[in-house]
Structures are given as structure tokens and as C-alpha cells.
Amino acid sequence: MALSHLATSSSRSAALLRPLSSSIYLRRPISTDTTPITVETSVPFTSHQCEAPSRSVETNPKELLTFFRDMALMRRMEIAADSLYKAKLIRGFCHLYDGQEAVAVGMEAAITKKDCIITAYRDHCTFVGRGGTLLEVFSELMGRQAGCSRGKGGSMHFYKKDSNFYGGHGIVGAQVPLGCGLAFAQKYSKDENVTFALYGDGAANQGQLFEALNISALWDLPAILVCENNHYGMGTAEWRAAKSPAYYKRGDYVPGLKVDGMDALAVKQACKFAKEHALKNGPIILEMDTYRYHGHSMSDPGSTYRTRDEISGVRQERDPIERIRKLVLSHDLATEKELKDIEKEVRKEVDDAIAQAKESPMPEPSELFTNVFVKGLGVESFGADRKEVRATLP
């Protein structure tokens, strides 16, 4: 959302958020400053079969503050989703992204909305990065009509067609061949766009990933496989599940790059590099070294297979938001109070969106039976006597 403010064509940015954001800009004119600043990435990139891009990333005050705001918003959103789940307002399955925000934000900064993104079920923040609104997020999470999938998808199935977000897929690894298919179409259309197919370190062991990668490499498709390595496939540590946890190397003949996924600027640099590479030479694998603070899903406390010290260690040392906060402060782009104010505003935005989402009605019971086929294919849902065409549920 704030990202789409940044983009010149902010066609579908949230009407709800616009006044708030612009008021910030009025108070703090420095945030619109686009004077280039060069920042060094936290660690150098490690490459496989290609030459790594430079560690020096060009950014500007406006971008850094947007990163800060977007990530703070995503973090707050996920924390709020956690509370809503515990309050039983969100039911079913819910996978939270907090800790990994830099991947969503950094990737968006390097590409356009014409490039496609497809991901697995940890999709809330990727959706927001693509310009989805908080209202759509919370409505979808609570199964309301105002949700991005009209309340029919839930946490795992967020989609946004107008900015080429191909969603939210529930079966581990199954979205990757699909993403390569998107790249296949892009190759035909010759419009210089690419597809980012995201998957986790758990999915990296699925066979269909390698099958899709082989075809993509064979036909030089503009597919970028992004392995968001948060080091645990559900409750199993990467080294217990993968003979080689160096996921960027596992394409063998396909080039790869290992990126600090907790550093939004490194992610941006890598994605920019990957897009150029993919358009010229075909697929590439980006391994984002990242971390999820929450458990795999809401039923996983996240502390049985890893230590609390490990989690708090990452929070202290590598947190993506704190990294940007330090950069903003060290470059004197905003005061600590101003950053705190942003966080407060974000919190209010989230609360407002939740309140609004709660107002949205549940889908009509008849929606249970729509969208299964295109209308008119003769599909009926019927009551037990086969006479009532429409089933009404109590």
C-alpha cells in the first residue's frame, strides 16, 4: 500500500490509508527526498554459477522510510492476526510472516507490478507488498465478503490479479511449476517481465520443483525461484531434511545467489540482479536467508524444535525492521520519535482496518456453491430430494 504510493501509478492504493500517509509526508518533508544514498549490504552475496552483484546498494531517504513503514505495517498486521486467531475470529489455518518482511518489501522495490509473483501459504505480506489493502487482508482472514478472495480463500489463498499476484497456494511446492508456467507465457509475450516463484526450504525437497526447474532452464524461461529459507520446514530443521541446505546451489546447472533475507536492501539488489539475469539467460535461484518468529502455523508454538534463545538472538541481531531503523537514524533521516510515531500510526491503521473488516458481512451461504465451474455448466447443488436447487444452510 505505501509501496503503491511510491509507484507513480498507484491506481488501487488504499483509499483508507492515503490521508494518513500524506499527512506524514507533510510533517516530515525529508521522507520524500530522493537524493541517492549508497549503503553496503550486511553480508556479501554468495553466488553459484554466476558473478555476484555488488554489495553497494543505491537507495534514498524516501525509500528507506517507506521500507520502514511497510515493514512496521506488515509486522503489526501479523501480530494482530495472531490475536484475532486466538480470539477465534480467524478460523482454520493461518501462517504468519513476521520476521520475513524484508523479502516481500525488498523484492517489490526491485520489480514492477507487471512482473508476476506466486507464493505458498505464508502469503499475507506478499499480498500487501503487491498493493493489497489491510481491509482486504483482515476481511479475508475472517472469511468476510470484503476479503480479497471474497471470503472464500482464507489465510492461505490471497490473490490480486491487477498487480499480478498469483497467490496463495496450500500444497507445499505445488506453486513452483505453476510459476514457471507464468514465465513460459511471459517468454511468449516478449514483454520483458519475469515471474518470482516463492517457496520455502521445506518445499525445496519436493520433486516437482526440480522438474519445473529443468524445463525452465531448457527453454530459458524468465523464472526466478526464490527460496525463502527460514530454516525450518514446519517443525523439521533444514539440516534434518536436506542433504545440502545450500539451496542456491541446488539448481546445479541453474545459477544461484545466496542473499541475506533479513536485509531489505540486499533483497532489492538481488532481485534487480535476478530480473536482469532471467530476462537475458533464463532461470536463477535466489536463496533468502530469513527467519520466522512465529511457529509454522497457529497450532505450532514454534519453540519445541528450536530454542527461545535462538529466536530472541535473531530478533536482536538481524531483525529487518531494526536494521532499517538503524540506517535511518545513522543517516539522520528521521528522529527516533518520528519513527515511533510511524509505528503508532501503523497500529491505528491496523486497528481501523480490523474494525472495518468486522463490519463486512459473511458470504451468502449460496457462495458455497459458486465458482466451482463457470456459470451455466449445469452444476446444481441440491437438497436431499433433488428438487431444491439451492441449498440453504442454517
Partner 1 sequence: MRPFSTATCDIENQQSAKSINLYSAINQALHIALETDPRTFVFGEDVSFGGVFRCTTGLADRFGKSRVFNTPLCEQGIVGFGIGLAAMGNRAIAEIQFADYIFPAFDQIVNEAAKFRYRSGNQFNCGGLTIRAPYGAVGHGGHYHSQSPEAFFCHVPGIKVVIPRSPQQAKGLLLSCIRDPNPVVFFEPKWLYRLAVEEVPEHDYMLPLSKAEVIREGSDITLVGWGAQLSIMEQACIDAEKDGISCELIDLKTLIPWDKETVEASVRKTGRLLVSHEAPVTGGFGAEISASIVERCFLRVSNFIYFVLLIEYYREPIQFFFIESQAFHCTNNLILAPIILNILASTLKTQKEENEKNKKVQTMLTCLCGDKRMHAAEWN
Q: Which residues bind partner 1 (CB under 8 A)?
A: 91-93, 153-157, 170-174, 202-203, 205-208, 233-236, 240-242, 299, 304-305, 368-369, 372, 381-385, 393-394
Contact 107, 120 (CB under 8 A): no
Compute the least distance from the CB of residue 357 to partner 1, in Å: 17
CB of 392 to partner 1, least distance (A): 10
User: Is the CB of 337 or the CB of 387 nearer to partner 1?
Assistant: 387
Q: How far is the CB of 391 from partner 1 (least distance, A)?
A: 8
Is residue 230 a contact partner of residue 291, using CB atoms and an 8 Å limit?
yes
CB of 217 to partner 1, least distance (A): 21
Question: Which of 103, 156 has the CB closer to partner 1?
Answer: 156
Nearer to partner 1, 241 or 329 (CB): 241
Cell numbers given for 6? 511510491
Distance in angstroms (rounded) separating the CA atoms of residues 326 and 290: 19
Quick one: 271 or 357, whose CB is closer to partner 1?
Answer: 357
Based on CB atoms, which residue is closest to partner 1, 32 or 208? 208
Smallest CA-to-CA distance from 207 within 236, 173, 166 is with: 173
Q: List Cβ neighbours of 83 (8 Å cut-off, separation of 6 or more).
A: none
In terms of CB distance, is 287 or 345 closer to partner 1? 287
Query: Which grid coordinates are listed for 216?
Result: 525452465
Q: Which residues contact 311 (CB under 8 A, 6 or more apart)?
A: 291, 293, 302, 303
Residues 6+ apart with CB under 8 A from 337: none
SS3 365: helix
C-alpha grid cell, residue 382: 441440491
Nearest distance, CB of residue 228 and partner 1, angstroms: 14
Q: Quote the least distance from Cβ 288 to partner 1, whole Å.
A: 18
- 178, 181, 193: which is closest to 115 by C-alpha? 193
Shortest distance, position 376 Cβ to partner 1, whole Å = 17
What's the rounded Cα separation, in Å, for the pair 101 and 35?
A: 25
Q: In the bound complex, what is the minimum distance in angstroms from residue 100's beta carbon to partner 1?
A: 18
Question: Which amino acid, 359?
Answer: E
Check: CB of residue 292 under 8 Å from CB of residue 100.
yes
H helical segments located in 142-174: none
> CA torsion angle for 237, 168, 81, 234 (degrees, to 10)?
-10
